[in-house]
Amino acid sequence: MEHMQRINSAQPVRLLTDVELKTFLKFQHSVGRILYFDEASLNQHIILSPTHLIDAFKSIVTDRRFCKGDKLRQDSWDLMSQKGVIAKKCVEDIWKKKNYKKFHEHKEYLLGVMTHLDILVEPKRYDNSHRSIPAEFFYVASMVKTKDTTGYMKSASFFQRNIAIAFSLPSSMIPPALSFRFLSYCLSMFAVKSYGQKNEDMLFHRSAVFTIDPSLDMCINCDDEIIIVRLVHVKNRTLIMRDLASSIRECLTVALEKISQLYIKTCSTESVVNEGSFSLSLCCSSYDASCFLPIFKLKEQVCPWICPKHGIEHTKDVMSSWEVQQEGLQCGDTCPVTDNAFLEQLPIDIHLRRLSMQYSINETKELAISLGMQVGTWDDMYVTLCEEPERLKFETLRRCIGDSNKTFNDIRNAIELGKIQNQHTLCKVVRGNTIDFDKEPEKWDLIATEEHLDRVAPLVGNKSLPFLVELGMEFKTWEQIKYRQKEKDLVKLNRDILQEWRSVFCVSYQLKPSLRYIGQAFNNIDKNIKIIENVLADLF
């Protein structure tokens, strides 16, 4: 770029301004004469011959027959085809060879372009203090040849634990490059699940499994005509949080739309590329030869959908999990309390926390007594926690349900027995507050730093316990952190909770501690999400 600016300044005619110079470079890039990427880490270089970049790609990502006689490249190709990774040292060693020294001179830039184009994906790695440390390898999704032989999707209960949605192009043909870029995008967003006796990464040819949270995985499978995304719960699909499912759908839809635009613009004769280029279908819960129901037909479904090939029943409530949850949503066919599979499940802390928010203190007392709590036990808890009403309600439900293996059906019966509001308050436990992560997603996908934790901790205020639970941690973790508190310092308590979540919880469950999780938890404890957005804006 410095050379280009010198050329510009030497012209006898009017010099281009910086803005005009960038516009000129972008135009030349768009018509294929040069390559110029207006990104913060890439905008100081211009590639005059696009084939130079192609040759750099081919030195790493190529067919095995072009590696003949070069043991280093053959070994790297074998590793990429089996596990989808290539060591950074291997790239360094290849580019030090005589034939490729021209790439080594600008290796940081060329690797930056390759990651920008999703050809390579650098996994995010962190030390014990969760400071970012360079990974020793890149993921190369396009090179993986290994098929999934783990049996993960063949377990007897798999069809009871997953919901699925399918994306397909109107042309009924998804270019392989699109599926590789989509998988690369997911690799940059989510942690690859480790599975089996050898605890190996579940990255395969045109498919992968990612860890979303301790109870939820995401499976992605790309075929020639369709991309299927499955959310798989550890127990039962009825417990998948609706706000999480709809958020993931929105996130993946936007990613696919952006990736697909290149291919549509290239192949389409239309001058305008319309939004919504993918058609969406709901998928049955069978991994084998899945059945599909166009998503626009969901509203027409009155009774459960029974897929024609497998005879699996899918309730409207479960199928609507992918839809954005609207304010004031009326219960009916899309209601968990009409689903026996949901009612048979045991609630966990996050369910009880959300349920406790629906009741007053008196209603909580009536519900507790209907669930079998002694009046004296309630009185003792009230005396101890009366100044912390939210904690009182939550701990009361935990005492009634947590140790007694009571199900959602037991709670529903107790609601009816005590005539406490109505049974549809149970619906709230799987419906959090929606949040639009598509606005500036690059910020939400950032890993939480020490500065982020410092800035967020005071904003949580006296919502420490619900915030901890919404982050996915258990009540016993709250007790342990609270016990360690020697002073009644609310900000320090919230800071300790965030630190525990980032450094222990996320590490234990192989989660990427992104700001997305903090934003969702903040939103679900009835805090104004704009506050977090303003913090992010300040930090940028």
CATH of the domain at 526: 1.10.533.10
Count structural domains, the chain.
Answer: 4
Q: If pLDDT is split at 50, 70 and 90, which confidence band does 150 have? A: confident
Structural domain ending residue among the three candidates 79, 96, 117: 117
**Angle at CA 228, nearest 5°, toward 227 and 233?**
155
Residues 298 and 199 reside in one and the same domain: yes
Give the DSSP H or E segment for 395: helix 389-397
Q: Is residue 365 part of a domain?
A: yes
Name the domain boundary from 396, 431, 466: 431
Same domain for 153 and 52?
no
Amino acid 232: pLDDT:
93
In angstroms, rounded to a whole number, what is the distance separating the alpha carbons of residues 110 and 209? 29
CA of residue 28 relative to chain centroid, distance: 36
Mean pLDDT, to the nearest integer, of 33-56? Answer: 88
Which range among 234-238, 422-426, 489-493 has the greatest average pLDDT?
234-238
Measure Cα distances from 381 to 50, 235, 378, 399, 517 in Å: 71, 32, 5, 10, 32
User: What value does the mean pLDDT take over residues 115-139?
Assistant: 69
Within-domain flag for 328: no
Q: Tell me, rounded to whole angstroms, the distance of Cα 536 from its chain centroid.
A: 19
What's the pLDDT band for 228 if we cut at 50, 70, 90? very high
Residue 161 pLDDT > 70: yes
CA 94 → CA 55, 59, 101, 128, 408, distances in Å?
A: 13, 8, 9, 32, 59
pLDDT of residue 364: 87
Q: Which residues constitute the domain of residue 474? A: 441-536
- Tens digit of each residue's pLDDT (9 = 90 or more) over 248-279: 888 788 788 877 766 555 444 444 444 456 78
Beta strands in 348-431 (DSSP E): none
Taking residues 12-39, what's their average pLDDT?
Answer: 88
Q: What is the CA radius of gyration of the chain?
A: 27
Residue 217 sits in the same domain as residue 299: yes
Q: What is the pTM of this model?
A: 0.73
308-329 tens-digit pLDDT: 888 888 888 788 888 765 554 4
Residue 38 sits in the same domain as residue 164: no
* Residue 200 and residue 235 in one domain: yes
> Averaged over 99-112, what is the pLDDT?
87
Residues 350 and 311 placed together within one structural domain of the fold: no
pLDDT at 461: 80
Residue 427 and residue 447 in one domain? no
CA–CA separation, 252 vs 244, rounded Å?
A: 12
Closest CA to 107 of 460, 225, 97: 97
Inter-axis angle of helices 361-370 and 375-385, nearest 10: 150
